[in-house]
Amino acid sequence: MATQQKVEIPIQGMDCAECTQHVRQAISTLPGVASVDVFLASEKAVVCFNPALASLQAIERAVESAGYAVRPLAAAQASAPLAAGFGRRILVLLGLVFGVVLFVAVVGEWLGFFEALTERVPWPVGLALVLIGGYPVFRDVARATLRRQVTSHTLMTLGAVAAMAVSEWATAAIVVFFMRVGDYAESFTTERARRAVKGLTAMAPQMARVERAGEEREVPAREVQVGETVIVRPGERIPVDGEVVSGHATVDQATITGESLPVEAGPGAKVFAATLASLGSLRIRVTHVGADTTFGRVVKMVEEAEAHRADVQRLADRFSAYYLPVVVGIAALTLGVGRDPLATAAVLVVACSCAFALATPIAMLASVGAGAKRGLLIKGGKYLELLARADVLLIDKTGTLTLGRPQITDILPLDGASPNDVLALAASAERYSEHPLAEAVRIAARERGLSLGEPQEFQAAPGRGIRARVNGAKVMVGNRRMVPIAYSLPVLDELETQGKTLLLVARDGQLVGVLAAADTLRPEVPAALDAVRALGVTHLELLTGDNEQTAAAIATRLGIDYRADLLPEDKIAVVKAYQARGRVVVMVGDGVNDAPALAQADVGIAMGAAGSDVAIEAGHMVLMREDWSLVPDAFRIARRTMGVVKLNIAFTAVYNLAGLSLAALGFLPPVLAAAAQSLPDLGILANSSRLLRQK
């Protein structure tokens, strides 16, 4: 069986939601194509196909047959700044021209100017003007019709044809004009939304300075190998992910975390591609390059956010498919009952499904781009829609509510052992564990200058602790489920009442001591949770693997419910239980041990994902810095986005209903219908563009 191949194809000419549908349909009909995702923001298609049945050349031909161009990625990126530079001036010019023509159309119709114009200018001349002005639109409609596709311009073309059929060539010319104005305005708004993605991409350095054969060489960043050493000088962007080997610098990580305050980087510090080094030089051992860097994964995730489309967007897509037959039916009824060809032409002219097609995707695209600039990555409009309806917030503790850097506060030796014996035994067993509590144990042992043994047969038990063999002895370090206690120790209950986590240390089945650790609550958490409550989330609950007393201490302080002693599978069960009751569940976790619950939740928010592969993959939304203020921000962005979408849809529905009614009854002449049909498009574009400026 042939292996599936996945390719990315840069596409030129897509400037609306319908364009992506046309490209998707053209490619998906090819034999051997398994899946197609087309992205308006990044102007590309991602195609998975069987090379034995399909080829890259066939896919490119399908794109071109749909009316779009395939071009090299470098050319696509090079043209972006040019388009962006002219965008604002074009929009201003279009606005002025639109206003002038709209004024002329209204006044001219009132004064009878267009009737006189059509009488004096021969019809063939008017036809030639309409065909020349509308050629790009008519060509695309003809191609779509041959492929049995209906576009928003199909109705407009029918309207222009109807106007020409009743000798209203001036009306047809105005229809063509406003079609072109709408296209330019939509292209401009789409381009503005794309800039967040293109701006991210442009931040990645194209060249890197590498140490090879004892000398520095400047090579393309994509050619750097993992394990090599890269040199970054003051004022340069770091081209790779890696670990600082030597040197010190102040690094601006805003491109990754959205945080404007720089951090100090020295030996051992992790640094990320596309961040800016200043006030010093760095030698960096490379761990990830190109698309595998944190920055590369962020860009890819933002680019492909359109793949997860909101249900309301799918509804608009289905509406557009049924809209044309309804409008044609109304036009036929108008002609059959009223016997008025001008009113019939006006019905076809005023009706345009483009507004419905625009109502959702432009708003979603704008919010995804605006969020990315703040360090909030949203994987698609689907999750914005779900987050706007969420009423349950489930929260992990360690590394999420707390800083995830606990400290050993108490050492209780038993069975004749000394505090240092207990700490050294635990630190030796935990020597290679990645759990935050293990790091606290190692730090405490290092501060006391204790020598550690080499663990053998290391085994982690999620939600319980670890087992290892140290100097021939079987050692267990963990909670009461890992190391059962057959007798009561009041001091342990007292420590747990204080909100401390206990690590029981056993050697060859005998309890030799207890370590108590305390974590620090993130200072911004109480205010963030209050803000979430104010936004209407009715139930907040802590889910933790810690014991009852520790969970109760934190939950009581924050005024939320809690469940303690949970394993990862228990957290998934809690999420499923709420979902079975019809609740929309948001889960916030650190993206590592909480990955299953994050994936199960309606919206999983991964906390502090910079540099974490698991967190970026697990979450539906990703906070690139460990800042709880971004959580209520995400809720606000989602609700504001859905408010804009609903307003877009409601406005379009009311406007189109009014326009169709007035045209069918003869109160809206074809000329005014031509002017009126573009107003909802421009209104939706202006309304959606507000999301680009979210504060």
pLDDT tens column, 186-208 = 666 556 555 555 555 666 788 88
Mean pLDDT confidence for 372-378? 80
Domain boundary among 474, 496, 518: 518
CA distances, 664 to each of 340, 351, 356, 477 (Å): 9, 11, 21, 80
Q: Which residue has the higher pLDDT, 90 or 65?
A: 65
Does a structural domain hold residue 296? no
Residue 73: pLDDT over 50: no
Q: What is the 3-state secondary structure (H, E, C) of 13-62?
A: CCCCHHHHHHHHHHHHCCCCEEEEEEECCCCEEEEEECCCCCCHHHHHHH
182 and 310 assigned to the same domain: yes
- Cα distance between residue 154 and residue 352, in whole Å: 9
- CA 80 from centroid of its chain's CA atoms: 21
Sign of CA dihedral 19, 22, 27, 33: positive
Whole-number pLDDT of residue 75: 42
Note whether 563 and 686 are same-domain residues: no
Upper half-sphere CA count for residue 458 (Cβ side, 13 Å)? 12
Eight-state DSSP code of residue 234: T
Return the pLDDT at 582.
Answer: 92
Same domain, residue pair 257 and 383? no
* Structure token digits, residue 419: 């505090």
pLDDT tens-place string over residues 111-128: 556 566 666 777 788 788
Active site annotation includes 396: yes
Residue after which a domain boundary falls, among 518, 544, 568: 518
* Spatial contact of 613 and 587, defined as CB atoms under 8 Å apart: no
Question: CA geometry: angle at 651 spanning 649 and 656, to 5°?
Answer: 95
Q: Of 374-383, 531-540, 607-616, which has the strongest mean pLDDT?
A: 531-540
Q: What pLDDT was estimated at residue 506?
A: 93
Residue with the larger pLDDT of the pair 324 and 212: 212
User: Is 675 inside a domain boundary?
Assistant: yes
Examine residue 294 and state whether it is found in any structural domain, yes or no: no
For residues 94 and 179, the model is more confident at 179
Residue 87's pLDDT band (boundaries 50, 70, 90)?
Answer: very low
The string over 217-243, giving b where at least 16 C-beta atoms fall within 10 Å of a residue's C-beta and e elsewhere, is eebebeebeeebbbbbeeebbbbbbbe
Q: How far apart are CA 330 and CA 314, in angstroms?
A: 25
In which order are the strands placed within the sheet that holds 44-49?
33-39, 44-49, 5-12, 69-70
Q: What residues pair up with 45 in beta bridges, in sequence order?
A: 9, 38
CA distance 294 to 212: 25
Quick one: pLDDT band at residue 519, thresholds 50, 70, 90?
confident
Structure tokens at 93: 């010019």
Q: What is the pLDDT of residue 76?
A: 43
State whether 163 and 310 are in the same domain. yes
User: CB–CB of 616/272 below 8 Å?
Assistant: no
Of 626, 625, 604, 629, nearest in space to 394 by CA:
604
Scanning 559-666, the segments in alpha helix (DSSP H) are 568-580, 595-600, 613-618, 630-664
Angle ∠(359,363,369) on CA atoms, nearest 5? 155
pLDDT at 27 over 80: yes
CATH of the domain at 471: 3.40.1110.10
Position 524 scores a pLDDT of 92
372: in domain: no
Same domain, 629 and 558: yes
Question: For residue 542, what is the domain's CATH number?
Answer: 3.40.50.1000
Same domain for 507 and 411: yes
* Residue 308 contacts residue 381 (beta carbons within 8 Å): yes
Task: Report pLDDT for 616.
Answer: 67
Q: What is the pLDDT of residue 638?
A: 92
Type and span of the H or E element at 194? helix 169-202
- On the question of pLDDT at 268 being above 60, the answer is yes
613 located within any domain:
yes
Of 267-281, 495-509, 518-532, 675-689, minimum mean pLDDT range:
675-689
pLDDT at 88: 45
CA distance 292 to 307: 20
CA distance 611 to 335: 65
Render 529-578 in DSSP notation, one character per residue.
HHHHHHTT--EEEEE-SS-HHHHHHHHHHHT-EEE-S--HHHHHHHHHHH
Contact predicate 182/681, CB 8 Å: yes
Which token pair is 188? 């401009």
CA distance 571 to 587: 10
208 in Cβ contact with 218 (< 8 Å): yes
Task: With respect to residue 370, please indicate whether it lies within any of the assigned structural domains.
Answer: no
Last residue of one domain, picked from the residues 500, 518, 536: 518
Q: What's the pTM? A: 0.64
- Among 376, 386, 394, smallest CA distance to 602 is for 386
Burial 7-22 (b: 16+ CB within 10 A, else e): eebbbebbbbbbbbbb
Which residue did the predictor score with more confidence, 655 or 107?
A: 655
Q: Are residues 512 and 527 in the same domain?
A: no
d(CA 333, CA 344): 9
Q: Specify the higher pLDDT residue, 148 or 648.
A: 648
Q: Which of 185-189, 522-526, 594-598 has the highest mean pLDDT?
A: 522-526
Q: Note whether 141 and 220 are same-domain residues.
A: no
Better pLDDT: 392 or 99: 392
Contact between 156 and 677 under an 8 Å Cβ cutoff? The reply is yes
> Does residue 395 share a domain with residue 257?
no
Sign of CA dihedral 79, 80, 82, 87: positive
Is 298 part of any domain? no
Q: Which residue has the higher pLDDT, 597 or 171?
A: 597
Region of poorest pLDDT, from 137-146, 654-663, 686-695: 686-695
Percent of residues, the chain, with pLDDT higher than 90: 19
DSSP notation for 506-523: EETTEEEEEEEEE--B-T
**CATH number where 248 lies:** 2.70.150.10
Q: What is the pLDDT of residue 38?
A: 82
Q: What is the CATH number of the domain that holds 39?
A: 3.30.70.100
Residue 432 pLDDT? 86
Residue 373 CB contacts under 8 Å (≥ 6 apart), including other chains:
196, 199, 258
Say if residue 8's pLDDT is above 50: yes
Q: Which residue has the tokens 């009581």?
A: 556
Range of the domain at 496: 407-518
Residues 63 and 118 in one domain: no
Reported as a single tens digit per residue, the pLDDT across 525-569 is 999 999 999 998 989 999 988 778 778 888 988 999 999 888 777
Domain count, the chain: 5
> Which one of 51-60, 67-76, 310-319, 616-625 scores highest in mean pLDDT?
51-60
Band of pLDDT at residue 497, cut at 50, 70 and 90: confident
Task: Label residue 184 by pLDDT band (50, 70, 90).
Answer: low
Q: What is the C-alpha to C-alpha distance for residues 437 and 442, in angstroms, rounded to an integer?
A: 9
Average pLDDT, the chain: 79
pLDDT at residue 593 tops 70: no
Q: What is the mean pLDDT of residues 419-443?
A: 90
86 in any annotated domain: yes
Residue 305 is given by DSSP the state G
- In this structure, the answer to whether residues 423 and 315 fall within a common structural domain is no
CA 519 – CA 217 distance, rounded (Å)? 46
586 in the same domain as 511: no
**Whether residue 86 has pLDDT greater than 50:** no
- More confident site: 307 or 286: 286
> Which pLDDT value is given to residue 98?
47
> Residue 240: what residue type?
V
* Least confident residue range of 173-182, 419-428, 433-442, 644-653: 173-182
pLDDT at 82: 35
Name the catalytic one among 15, 396, 590, 594.
Answer: 396
> Residue 329 CB: number of other CB atoms within 10 A?
10
